[in-house]
Amino acid sequence: MKTFRLILIYCLLIIGGLIMAFPFFWMFISSLKTAAEVNTTPPTFWPQRLMFENYVYAFSKAPFLTYFKNSLIVVGSSVSLTMLTTILAAFAFSRLKFPGRDFIFSASVGMMMVPFEMLIITNYTTIVKIGLMDTLTDLILPFTSSIFYTYILRNFFFSVPDSIYWSARVDGATNWRYLWRIMVPMAKPALATIALLNAIVSWNSFLWPLIATNTTAKRTLPFGLYAFMSASGIRYERLMAAATIVVVPMIILFILFRRYIVEGVSRGGLKG
């Protein structure tokens, strides 16, 4: 009875897992097929010949290398800047005392309800007016202040006992040094979680690059992929190769840091 139950659980888990992960398998397999093999019935579940040329095509016919580089720059700068503003703000909101602190914080948290789609109208004008249209900077700047991450980090900072802070002050540390020497090292797990979530969101960002860039040289991967689809027509083996390029870094990131990412997502169900 017990073994039967266990077998059932494993069967269901495997079936479910296959369904959830299948698109990724299919994407990868299709990316290695020839054009002829892609369009055969019944479909083959393992390529007859490994067509790495599809990847070569994506990198040579479309500037996926540029997209990749742009994505790295945008994600890297966006994550570091966001971490900086988040750490400073979370510290002010949790440890420093000043009039209106709780009001400013509550008001900020309230702004979390505003969907990003509502902001694009004005943000578009703003970046055009300050001459940043179609630059990588405009893909970074609007996202450097994150209420959500500040909220998470502030809660973490709050959980650090007062006595640690006062010990450091008595030991001669200023607020600034306390923050960087004691608080930030202590918050490493929380910071890692935030940085990972931020990197994922930033990497997959599509709507804003669609609006705020218009030349190939400034595209990031998801928009580049979409442009590739529109431009090169429907050749699924090539599209799948390109999609694999976009998806694989995040899958690797997920496999490496699953614990942090899952923790971060389950803590902040608010933002998907």
Partner 1 sequence: MRKSKAEAEQKQIFFGEPLLYLLPFLIGLLIFTVYPFLNALLISFKENYNLMTGAFTGFGWGSYSRIFSDANFINGLKNTALYVLIVVPVSTVLSLLAASLLNQKVKLSGLFQTAYFVPMVTSVVAVGLVWKWMFNYDYGLLNYFLSFFGLAKINWLNNPAYNLPALIIFGIWNKMPLTIILLLAGYQNINPQYYVAARVDGAKPRNIFFRITLPLLAPTIGLTLVVNTISSSMVFMELFPLFNGNPGSAYSLYTIVYYLYDMFYNQWRLGLAAASAVVLFLIVMVLTIIQLYIQRNWQNY
Partner 2 sequence: MQIVLEDVTKRFGATVAVDGLSVTLEAGKLTAVLGPSGCGKTTILNIISGIVPLTSGRVFFNDVDVSRKPPEKRSIGLVFQNYALYPHMTVLQNICFPMEMQKVPKRERLARVEELGELVQIQSLMKRKPSELSGGQQQRVAIARALAKRPEVLLLDEPLSNLDAKLRLGMREEIRRIQRESKITTVFVTHDQEEASSIADDVILLKEGVLQQKAAPRMLYNEPENLFVADFLGTPPINKLAGKISNGQILLDGSEIAFPLETEREMREGQEIVLAVRAESVFAGGEPLFEGTVLERYALGKDELVLFSVGREQQMRGFVSAGCPLQEGEKFPVALRKTGVFLFDAHSGERYA
Q: Tell me the closest approach of the beta carbon of residue 191 to partner 2, in angstroms.
A: 12
| CA 77/CA 136 separation, integer angstroms | 10
Smaller CB separation from partner 1, 163 or 266 = 266
Residue 159 is classified by DSSP as T
| CA 226/CA 247 separation, integer angstroms | 13
| CA 72/CA 67 separation, integer angstroms | 9
The sign of the torsion formed by the CA atoms of 191, 193, 197, 203 equals positive
Q: Tell me the closest approach of the beta carbon of residue 53 to partner 1, in angstroms.
A: 18
| By the rule CB under 8 A, 14 interacts with partner 2 | no
State the binding partner of 23 from partner 2, partner 1, none, CB within 5 to 8 A by kind.
partner 1
Name which of residues 149 to 188 contact partner 2 (CB under 8 A): 161, 163-164, 166-174, 177, 181-182, 185-186, 188
Q: How far is CA 117 from CA 120, 123, 133, 138, in A?
A: 6, 10, 18, 16
Q: Tell me the closest approach of the beta carbon of residue 171 to partner 2, in angstroms.
A: 4
Name which of residues 186 to 245 contact partner 2 (CB under 8 A): 186, 188
State the binding partner of 167 from partner 1, partner 2, none, CB within 5 to 8 A by kind.
partner 2
Number of alpha carbons in the 13 Å side-chain half-sphere of residue 247 = 14
Q: Where on the chain is the footprint of partner 2 (CB under 8 A)?
A: 161, 163-164, 166-174, 177, 181-182, 185-186, 188
